[in-house]
Amino acid sequence: MSFSHLDEGTPETAWQDAGLAELEEAPGWNQAGPDTLLVLAVAHPDDETLGATGLIRSVLCAGGRVELILCTAGEGSHPDSPTHTPEQLRRIRHAEMLEAAEALGRDAEGRLELHQLGLPDGRLAEHTEQIEVAVHRALDRDRSGADAAGSSAGPAASQPLLATHYRLDGHTDHEVLGHTLAAVAAERGLALYEFPVWYWHWADPQTEHAWRHWTRWPLDEEAQAVRLTALHAHQSQTRPLSDAPGDEAIVGVGMLEHFLRPFDVVRRTAPDSADSSRAARIFDQLYRDHEDPWSYLTSWYERRKRLITMAVLPQRRYGTVVEVGSSIGVLTAELAGRAERVLALEASELAVERSRAHLAEHRHVEVRQAVLPQDWAAAVPEGRRVDLVVLSEVGYFLQPDELRTVLDQAESALTLSGQLVLCHWRHPIQGWPLDGDSVHGLISADPRFRRVVEHRERDFTVEVYARVSAAQRAVVVVPAHNEQDLLPRCLAALARAADRWEDVHGQGTVVITVAVDHCTDATVARAQEMAALDGRFQVLELDARSAQETGLPDGGTVGAARDAGLRWGVARMAGAGLAPEGAEEDHAEGPEVSQDLWVASTDADTVVPADWLVAQAALAAQQTGAAAAPGTEPATDPRVLVAGTVMPHPGDLDDDVQRRWYADYEHREGHRHIHGANLGMPWAVYRELGGFPHVAADEDVALVDAARRAGVQVIATDRTRVVTSGRTDGRTPAGFAGFLRDLAAGGLSPQLSASGEHRPPADPARDPAP
């Protein structure tokens, strides 16, 4: 997690609007008694006040006692301060901590004891053993003559309360403490209370869902007043050290608002409710006792379940697969036969060893030990394209917020056409927070995903999910003028893109129109050959006769060909013919067609990637916020237009021209280019804009300009990049080929017009009149 206290951060109003105050009260929040012990470990002075005032005051006011373990002096709070050294800050913050502890322990007659470990700020990961020793010592400290770690189950008895930072708080020291105390809680069989601090600053309550499973710890008026007094003690954090840059307040006004609530928020893991940290220890012991704990290698039930899981995967082959909870690698081996690369993640060290032995012959499989969600970033390198994430028999071994975090991590790693497969036992799981149906229910309610496959039996469920899409059906147009040589390659790529679309949207949901425009070579024959093999392809011959029969333009310009091909394809999708009159009207498509239809444009000399269509529609849904709020449906007819990038086909350009091309071209999000070879939008938007103008060049630029004037969101993306011809003898002098020809001659760069102004490069294959 990367953030700064100088960032504006998430306002408290956003958390309140999202329903934070409606969380349930924490179990046992008002049940402390005279023999209650709270062991609280924090990373820095002020963390105890910000996150745990409610816990501290509840225990002290009930007559219990608090062992407060302060791990560092917080000397690293202002690393860029020009006025204070770390040693000076150490002394200042030590004094502030003593004053705050006195305020927090008011009227407690010495029942709050502060233990300062003096570990280096920012480096707690190097000192986890010392922290564990200090926590165990505090748990076992006997002041009342009773065993502080007694066996009574209720917090009102002698069972200690253990509290620390939220293990995914975003601050390294906070997260180290969260994981360390989770291990202690698992070992001692104690409830663990985790409180967020910086999470409130960096998280978005609409997209981060972990908090929805947390609880409130109420603060009465006296506790709120104590918090304000203690916060006042930490002035080095709540006020600037000076006016100089680097001396700003760490906990500014906006940050402080999160801690003026009449409640704290805690993530509670009950003693009898396991989570990811406990799962690792439990499974290690299980694998010590059994070579194959679930009889993966011998059970027909397990074998059949794997066969079904593999059978429901929509794609024949995947690029990179990430399997979460790979056990001894039996399903991993099956996945290896359908993938270019498999990354198998498993919490148990013993299972990892056996899995590596089992998979030794699969050189494209990597097995890593990882306890999720905390180890995801280390296990799955950022930027790696993941095509499939497999969660098989693992979801119920996570707390609900942990499962939600894993889903967030998987969604971030998946490509726009990536898929998620789940398989889980449907019967009760003793000692764990979820069962299979609740795991699948949580994911089915996630607005970012849509279920595309479901297999449900008495004992287990297998489901496949894909990203939410802005449409359910698609029409693609390919204008073609004398393209007999390059067209077959284009259509073969489009067939793969149609396959991928139908993987997640169903058969019969794609129509591809090849609009052949006054051709004098074998282009028509090449298009008809593909149409004979694949019924998703339609051939529209544009000439005077077809114009008379259909009412569509007779081509002659690339703009007219694109427009006619799209309208013809939409009519074919609707299963209706076109009347000869009124070509400017919306021909034969009913409301049911326009509401869920995506239209896209490419060129006859262009090769699209397999996920081109799926990615366009998924990106549109993602960017328009169609999946922003839980329980919402995808947006109907989002007003967006997706403008992708191109790259010349390898080998078409000589080295010098290629260097000049890439020096000027922007392969990035928010680029400035427009290509008819890579455009997509909802059909409703296309109709609103009037379609491609019937011009010989720059019809794509004109359409996008019209979209911007109409307030349509233009998503300029590099995530749908296509490969187009680098030829210099294109079908129109004003097209992309002309720019490349000028570039080869030492003229203008692809982004410059004759006047020297920036202009998006023209399209590779605009077909002029013959």
Instruction: Give the CATH number for residue 687.
Output: 3.90.550.10
Indicate if 477 and 463 belong to the same structural domain.
no
CATH code of the domain covering residue 393 = 3.40.50.150
Q: Where are the alpha helices (DSSP H) in 269-423?
A: 276-289, 300-312, 330-336, 349-358, 376-379, 400-413
Indicate if 150 and 165 belong to the same structural domain.
yes
Q: Residue 563 corresponds to which amino acid?
A: D
Q: Is 450 helix (H, G, I), strand (E, B) or coil?
A: strand
Q: Indicate if the pLDDT at residue 579 is higher than 60.
A: no
* Residue showing tokens 């745990």: 52
Q: Look at 9-23, 284-298, 588-602, 756-770 and tell me which has the smallest mean pLDDT.
A: 756-770
Between these two residues, 127 and 547, which has the higher pLDDT value?
A: 127
Domain termination residue (choose one: 423, 440, 467): 467
| pLDDT at site 313 | 97
Q: Is 103 helix (H, G, I), strand (E, B) or coil?
A: helix
pLDDT in tens, 22-79: 999 998 888 899 999 999 999 999 999 999 999 999 999 999 999 999 999 999 999 9
Is residue 539 included in any domain, yes or no?
yes
Q: Look at 140-149, 296-305, 415-424 and tell me which has the smallest mean pLDDT.
A: 140-149
**If you average pLDDT over residues 677-686, what whole number do you get?**
96
| pLDDT at site 761 | 40
Distance CA 505, CA 489 (A): 24
- Strands 161-165, 112-119: pairing kind: unpaired
Number of domains in the chain: 3
**Confidence class of residue 153 from pLDDT cuts 50, 70 and 90?**
very low
Is residue 762 included in any domain, yes or no?
no
DSSP character string of 221-266: HHHHHHHHHHHHH-HHHHS-SSSSTT---SS-HHHHGGG-SSEEEE
Indicate if 638 and 532 belong to the same structural domain.
yes
The DSSP bridge partners found for residue 542 are: 517
For residue 274, give both structure tokens: 């396991």
Is residue 749 included in any domain, yes or no?
no
Between these two residues, 624 and 320, which has the higher pLDDT value?
A: 320
Q: What is the mean pLDDT of the chain?
A: 87
Q: Indicate if the pLDDT at residue 734 is higher than 60.
A: no
Is residue 433 included in any domain, yes or no?
yes
Give CA separation, 173 vs 70, 397, 466, in Å. Answer: 12, 25, 36
Domain termination residue (choose one: 237, 269, 301): 269
For residue 454, give both structure tokens: 């479901």
Is residue 2 included in any domain, yes or no?
no
* Residue showing tokens 């705050």: 100
Indicate if 423 and 357 belong to the same structural domain.
yes
Between these two residues, 202 and 282, which has the higher pLDDT value?
A: 202
pLDDT in tens, 619-670: 999 887 644 343 344 445 689 999 999 999 877 777 877 888 788 889 999 9
Between these two residues, 118 and 766, which has the higher pLDDT value?
A: 118
Which phi and psi (to 5°) does residue 453 adopt? -140, 140
The DSSP bridge partners found for residue 116 are: 70
Indicate if 512 and 558 belong to the same structural domain.
yes
Is residue 755 included in any domain, yes or no?
no
| pLDDT at site 525 | 97
Indicate if 478 and 436 belong to the same structural domain.
no
Angle at 684 between CA 681 and CA 689, to 5 degrees: 80
Distance CA 449, CA 451 (A): 7
Indicate if 734 and 643 belong to the same structural domain.
yes
Q: Indicate if the pLDDT at residue 762 is higher than 60.
A: no
For residue 752, give both structure tokens: 């410059």
Q: Look at 123-137, 343-357, 416-430, 723-737 and tell me which has the smallest mean pLDDT.
A: 723-737
For residue 730, give both structure tokens: 């294109």
Half-sphere exposure of 330 (CA within 13 A, CB side): 20
pLDDT in tens, 477-499: 999 999 999 999 999 999 999 99
Which residue range forms the structural domain that includes residue 358?
292-467
**If you average pLDDT over residues 76-85, what whole number do you get?**
96
* SS3 per-residue string spanning 135-173: HHHHHHCCCCCCCCCCCCCCCCCCCCEEEEECCCCCCHH
| pLDDT at site 576 | 45
Give CA separation, 707 vs 326, 443, 683, 688, in Å. Answer: 48, 35, 13, 9
By the 8 A CB rule, do 141 and 69 touch? Answer: no
- For residue 48, the Cα-to-chain-centroid distance in whole angstroms is 32
By the 8 A CB rule, do 321 and 315 touch? Answer: no
| pLDDT at site 4 | 80
Give CA separation, 47 vs 53, 288, 592, in Å. Answer: 9, 40, 56
pLDDT in tens, 401-431: 889 889 999 999 999 999 999 999 999 887 7
Is residue 286 included in any domain, yes or no?
no
Indicate if 261 and 344 belong to the same structural domain.
no
Q: Indicate if the pLDDT at residue 119 is higher than 70.
A: yes
Q: Judging by beta carbons within 10 Å of its beta carbon (0-12, 13-18, 19+), is residue 313 exposed, middle or buried?
A: buried
Indicate if 374 and 402 belong to the same structural domain.
yes
Indicate if 548 and 589 belong to the same structural domain.
yes
Across the beta sheet with 597-601, the strand order is 537-542, 510-517, 473-480, 597-601, 679-682, 640-643, 713-716
Q: Look at 38-47, 154-163, 200-209, 391-400 and tell me which has the smallest mean pLDDT.
A: 154-163
CATH code of the domain covering residue 229 = 3.40.50.10320
Question: In terms of Cα–Cα distance, which of 357, 374, 433, 359 is closest to 398?
Answer: 433
Indicate if 437 and 528 belong to the same structural domain.
no
What is the model's pTM?
0.74
Is residue 766 included in any domain, yes or no?
no
Indicate if 578 and 720 belong to the same structural domain.
yes
By the 8 A CB rule, do 362 and 336 touch? Answer: yes
CA dihedral 58, 61, 65, 70 (to 10 degrees): 60
